[in-house]
Chain A
Amino acid sequence: MPESLIIARGLTKKFGDFTAVDAIDFDVAKGESFGLLGPNGAGKSTTMRIIAATSQRTSGTITVLDRDPEEHGPQIRAHLGVVPQQDNLDGELTVTENLFIYGRYFGLSKKFIRAKVEELLEFAQLEEKRDAKVDALSGGMKRRLTIARALISEPDILMLDEPTTGLDPQARHILWDRLFRLKEVGVTLVLTTHFMDEAEQLCDRLVVMDKGKIMAEGAPSELIKTYSTKEVLEVRFGSERNKEVAPTLREMCPRIEELPDRILMYVDDGEALLEEIVAKKLHPTTSLVRRSSLEDVFLRLTGRSLIE
């Protein structure tokens, strides 16, 4: 059993009457990439802030790097790298200055930081922008700089809150590549996301959160195996007819989900089912057979889509 860097039991956070995090349990092992997947408002960011020793829990227990964040905030934060949801870089300073200043907050020597900055500029592919003012950078570059900044202290755990939200597809792929490299060299990652593809790409293990609770936990492939079928058949009959044909489809398949624009049918052999449908002369306007994803797991667990 690998060493656990984070252990949470019955972790709860309330804001007045509202329970943001509702008695959750989880462990994060050293070297693992752990994800919190859920829609906006599921309690992911609050959980991250409790782990990062910046927000105090209401009840339950949590240890981070063998310490209680309520009592040992600075000691814990000394060994975490935090990438918040919104980049909070200093836009008036240059790329290098931002890295440098941040390193000083950890009390690191100027000599150490100077060497580290070179390494991080290369990692973040920002060498050419080293003297550029941060306000002039693109969204993807700012994100990479925020990640580089979080790595300046060589943290034991890198915390990423929605690392690619708001980025274009190309910028996301560059970022995933960078994070994958960190994972390869054994950095423990804790990340939140509401993108299932991101969770599948980056997480060894994840918890699905909704309304402050953990709905399920496991490796992405395990979750798909447990909570969904091998394949999904998506059919569209046009918004008018979807409702009309749904009862017939329901008889043909043990589990279907009616979404506003399409019907999802959960089976192990999608092509075979599609042939049956066509044989009944139902003729969908479009059809698609695909592998199950974490989106289907979420739909199964909560009855709602991840991104609405």
Chain B
Amino acid sequence: MNSGINVARIRSIGAAYIAEARINQMSKWKGIIAIVAIGNPLFYLIAIGIGVGVLVNQNSGTAGTGGVEYITFIAPALLASAALTGAMDETMFPVMEGFKWRKLFFAMNATPITGGQIAIGVFLAAMLRVAFTVICYWILLIAFGVVTVAESWDVVPITMFAAGGFGATIMALTARVKNEDYFMTILGRLIIMPMFLFSGTFFPLTNMPIYLQPIGWISPLWHATELGRHFSYGYPISPLMLLIHFGYLTIMLSLGLTFAQKIFSERLAR
């Protein structure tokens, strides 16, 4: 019997071993991750923030954006969008790979590691990637002079929290997927794309006719964006709405993680 194996310890920190492995796997993609983390904000800030921003500000001043420059208005939304996309990449693909493409989760589960620990480990590693993306973005926002460190530092943890809620939900949904072609097409084209367009990213959600606004209400991106605006440039939100935004994302996070752990364990036990 190998006495170097401490099962009690693995039971308590096993998820950290999985996160360590995931980070190891991600490091193979570090070049691409870095290019996306820096290139994405750079392109968006220049094209939309400055390019479209000039157009908006010339035509309507700051009236349509609640009294701030257009770039200030969309910066927290672009930040949230990048964070949520990063969270999705690191929860959807590893889960498909783990259960179907390479069956890596079955290898992990042949050790003392449990299905629930695999879910938490994948999630923790995804959050690390999100942290990297968000911090890169934030530094660029400061460099562009869009926000200042003092007034916007809290946007970083809040955006990460929102991305966590979204990532946990995507992880739980992906864990059941047998045929990824359908799933990825529907998710990408019919959910993510409209979410990006109808979550008050480029214009206030209230500009939409009322019957289209519910798309924003159910979208985690809208909640993340509203919070981001509030904490980066003091966009006013009532205490009730603050509670709703945080509450919605907290529910996504806790339901996502709870179901992901359960579904992972069931699928591994077949």
Of chain B, the residue at the smallest CB distance from A73 is B114
Number of B positions contacting A (CB below 8 A): 33
The answer to whether the Cβ of A153 comes within 8 Å of any Cβ in the partner chain is yes
The answer to whether the Cβ of B190 comes within 8 Å of any Cβ in the partner chain is no
A106 in contact with B24 given A55-B270, A56-B269, A91-B102 (CB within 8 Å): no
The answer to whether the Cβ of A79 comes within 8 Å of any Cβ in the partner chain is yes
Of chain B, the residue at the smallest CB distance from A109 is B4
From B5, B28, B268, B270, name the one whose CB has the most chain A CB atoms within 10 angstroms.
B5
State whether A89 touches B10 (Cβ < 8 A).
no
State whether A55 touches B269 (Cβ < 8 A).
yes
The answer to whether the Cβ of B240 comes within 8 Å of any Cβ in the partner chain is no
Which segment of B36-44, B104-112, B123-131 sits at the interface? B104-112
State whether A77 touches B112 (Cβ < 8 A).
yes
User: For chain A residues 170-205, which have a beta carbon within 8 Å of chain B?
Assistant: none
Q: State how many angstroms separate the Cβ of A18 from the closest Cβ of chain B.
A: 13
Task: Choose among B5, B21, B102, B108 the residue that contacts A78 (Cβ–Cβ < 8 A).
Answer: B5
User: Mostly helix, strand, loop or mixed at chain B's interface?
Assistant: helix
Task: Choose among B13, B14, B24 the residue that contacts A101 (Cβ–Cβ < 8 A).
Answer: B24
CB neighbours (8 Å) of B7 from chain A are 74-75, 78
State whether B10 touches A88 (Cβ < 8 A).
no
The answer to whether the Cβ of A82 comes within 8 Å of any Cβ in the partner chain is yes
State whether A104 touches B21 (Cβ < 8 A).
yes
Q: State how many angstroms separate the Cβ of A160 from the closest Cβ of chain B.
A: 12
User: For chain A residues 100-154, which have a beta carbon within 8 Å of chain B?
Assistant: 101-102, 104-109, 112, 149-150, 153-154
CB neighbours (8 Å) of B1 from chain A are 79, 156
State whether A78 touches B4 (Cβ < 8 A).
no
CB neighbours (8 Å) of A90 from chain B are 25, 102, 104
Interface string of A51-93 (1 = CB under 8 A from B): 0101110000000000000000111011110101010111111
Give 7 pairs: A residue, B residue, CB < 8 Å, sorted on A: A82-B110, A84-B103, A84-B106, A102-B111, A107-B10, A153-B2, A153-B5
Chain B residues packing against A (C-beta within 8 Å):
1-2, 4-7, 9-11, 13-14, 17-18, 20-21, 24-25, 28, 102-104, 106-114, 268-270
